[in-house]
Amino acid sequence: MSDLKDYVDLKADELKLRTTKGLSTAMGRLAALLLSVGLLVIVLGLLAVVLIQWIGQWTGSLAVSSSIVCGVFLVALAVVFLLRKRLFRDTFVRLFIRIFYGDDEV
């Protein structure tokens, strides 16, 4: 009976360690993702300002150039929306399966 208790305790410890490892890996990747997205937003914002100014000089109107840049971002948003399942859900499901079920190459 003592062996069974030791076995269960070891399995519980193994589960705790695997969960801790998986969660720490997931949280590290989430932090890196949030940092990357934040930097991407800043870069895209600055790029939008530059494009508005450049196209505004070309067209002679900042309103027209703002509309053009807004249209480009709306098209990009539509593409991301249409591909959201493939880009996000499937990617994250595979990532979490690898993290929590033991692919150490991740």
Query: Is pTM beyond 0.85 here?
Result: no
Q: Rg of the chain over CA atoms, in angstroms?
A: 24
Going from the C-alpha of 35 to that of each of 32, 38, 41, 82, the distances in angstroms are 5, 5, 10, 24
d(CA 43, CA 86): 25
Residue 102: partners with Cβ closer than 8 Å, 6 or more residues away: 18
Predicted local distance difference test score (pLDDT) of residue 80: 87
The DSSP 8-state label assigned to residue 60 in this structure reads S
What six digits make up the tokens of 11?
A: 């399995």
pLDDT in tens, 4-55: 888 888 888 888 888 888 788 878 888 998 999 999 999 999 999 999 999 9
Domain boundaries, the chain: 2-100
